[in-house]
Amino acid sequence: MLPDDSPIRQGSGQRAEARQDPRLDWWRDAKFGMFIHWGLYAIPAGEWKGDKIPGIGEWIMLRARIPVAEYEQLAKQFNPVRFSAAQWVSIAKLAGQKYLVITSKHHDGFCMFNSKLTDYDIVDATPFRRDPLKELAAECQKQGIRLCFYYSQTQDWHHPNGDGNDWDYVEEAKDFDGYLENYVKPQVRELLTNYGPIGLIWFDTPKRISEEQSRSLVDLVHQIQPACLVNGRVGNHIGDYASSRDNVIPSDLLQIDWETPATINHTWGFKKDDEDWKTPTDLIQKLVDITSKGGNYLLNVGPTAEGTIPQPSIDRLLAMGKWLDANGDSVYGTRPGPIQGEEWCRTTTKPGKIYLHVFDWPTNGQLRVAGLNQKVTGAYLLADPKKSQLAVTSSADGIVVNGPAKGPDAIDSVVVLTV
């Protein structure tokens, strides 16, 4: 059992054997992914029959207790003609994101892919008639990004036997096992058969799923695509890696493989009045903070019903990409550094190098680094193309790197220590 205040939600942990599994290596190195929550909920965008519905946008069906028969009608209006897979993948690429996880089916049950199991999908039920996941698969291949799918395995408010809808159906009368065997598993099979190699399947809100059921899902994924990873929210602590609670960054280093799923504003699915955007500084420092503790940052965008990623999200992602262009060596492929728990800095490492990420540059330019047990042979600023050496002196409790009086990067100046 995990303690109640654990950054990892109950049941969303990592299988012990997966800790050393080389299948995770691409993901361990990737550090930064794009999450995309896109579905019918982008049409009401937080408002139903003139009322603003509180909470996250993709939960509108449950929060407003919208009957299936009414919610289904949204499909007839869904025509995201401005959707461009090439553009979305380019944005991820420019942001420095290495994988993309898109909702194939969220809790509302609407399938954003062409499924033979139902007509309640984007190809059969909307005027759009295109399969965006097919288009994204082709574009991801072209641009070198790993495509991954979110799939809500337990909650399905549209399916009579899925979990969560108690306003149309009687919860106690549901055949959850039948839903899992005859609907979820065949759909997971479709996702892993029709779209080429898939990096990972991102399950969510395990809730009532039993250990046996979680295990059978993991086995199914691994059987169809052995390299495909499964996140911890498949339930019962048997994922290939753990997912933290939403927007939660653990305060300490965790000895597992983990990821923080997070939003740029508050909602996941598009909500027209959610304009509370995190700043680029905050987002970049969060990415570095997570990386320094051994995690990955899965950062969400919620495209509109027209098929566009909101401009404030694009602006922030591009700012992150710009910082990563100069400083990516200190993030991608790194592991947690030796100094943890300091306010002013974070550390990441690669063989022979420690990256000192300075969030708070001291006014005298002297960076006092205590607690290193490796000999430092040199220091330079990562963003300095000339790699001009900074003087390093020893002090009573460690070393002092003598940097410029003003930190070169107000967000995070990265000093490379060679060891």
Judged by the rule CB under 6 A, the positions of this chain that interact with ligand FHN are 56, 58-59, 204-205, 246, 261, 268
Minimum distance, C-beta of residue 301 to ligand FHN, in the bound complex (Å): 12
Beta bridge partners of 366: 402
**Based on CB atoms, which residue is closest to ligand FHN, 245 or 350?**
245
> How far apart are alpha carbons 313 and 38 in whole angstroms?
14
Please provide the DSSP assignment of 46-103 as one string: TEETTEEPPS-GGGHHHHTT--HHHHTTHHHH---TT--HHHHHHHHHHHT--EEEEE
Q: DSSP E strands: which ranges in 128-212?
A: 146-151, 200-203
Minimum distance, C-beta of residue 166 to ligand FHN, in the bound complex (Å): 16
- Taking CB atoms, the residue at the shortest distance from ligand FHN is 261
3-state secondary structure of 396: coil
Distances (CA, A) of 246 to 196, 250, 298, 380, 411: 29, 11, 10, 36, 24
**Based on CB atoms, which residue is closest to ligand FHN, 190 or 246?**
246
128, 122 Cβ separation under 8 angstroms: yes
**Based on CB atoms, which residue is closest to ligand FHN, 37 or 98?**
37
**Based on CB atoms, which residue is closest to ligand FHN, 41 or 195?**
41
Minimum distance, C-beta of residue 263 to ligand FHN, in the bound complex (Å): 8
**Based on CB atoms, which residue is closest to ligand FHN, 153 or 205?**
205
Minimum distance, C-beta of residue 106 to ligand FHN, in the bound complex (Å): 6
Distances (CA, A) of 183 to 117, 163, 201: 7, 13, 16
Residue carrying structure tokens 């022979």: 352
Nearest alpha carbon to residue 151 among 107, 95, 209: 107
Minimum distance, C-beta of residue 102 to ligand FHN, in the bound complex (Å): 12
Contacts of 306 (CB under 8 A, 6+ apart): 80, 81, 82, 83
> How far apart are alpha carbons 79 and 22 in whole angstroms?
41
Minimum distance, C-beta of residue 150 to ligand FHN, in the bound complex (Å): 7
Amino acid at 379: A
**Based on CB atoms, which residue is closest to ligand FHN, 59 or 71?**
59
Minimum distance, C-beta of residue 100 to ligand FHN, in the bound complex (Å): 15
3-state secondary structure of 141: helix
Minimum distance, C-beta of residue 83 to ligand FHN, in the bound complex (Å): 20
**Based on CB atoms, which residue is closest to ligand FHN, 58 or 257?**
58
Minimum distance, C-beta of residue 34 to ligand FHN, in the bound complex (Å): 13
The half-sphere exposure of 55 on its side-chain side, counting CA atoms within 13 A, is: 10
**Based on CB atoms, which residue is closest to ligand FHN, 204 or 412?**
204
Please provide the DSSP assignment of 25-51 as one string: HHHHHH-EEEEE--SGGGTTTTEETTE
**Based on CB atoms, which residue is closest to ligand FHN, 52 or 335?**
52
**Based on CB atoms, which residue is closest to ligand FHN, 202 or 359?**
202
356, 417 Cβ separation under 8 angstroms: yes
> How far apart are alpha carbons 95 and 318 in whole angstroms?
5
3-state secondary structure of 373: coil
Minimum distance, C-beta of residue 298 to ligand FHN, in the bound complex (Å): 8
Minimum distance, C-beta of residue 261 to ligand FHN, in the bound complex (Å): 4
**Based on CB atoms, which residue is closest to ligand FHN, 109 or 336?**
109
Residues 343, 346, 351: CA angle, nearest 5 degrees: 160
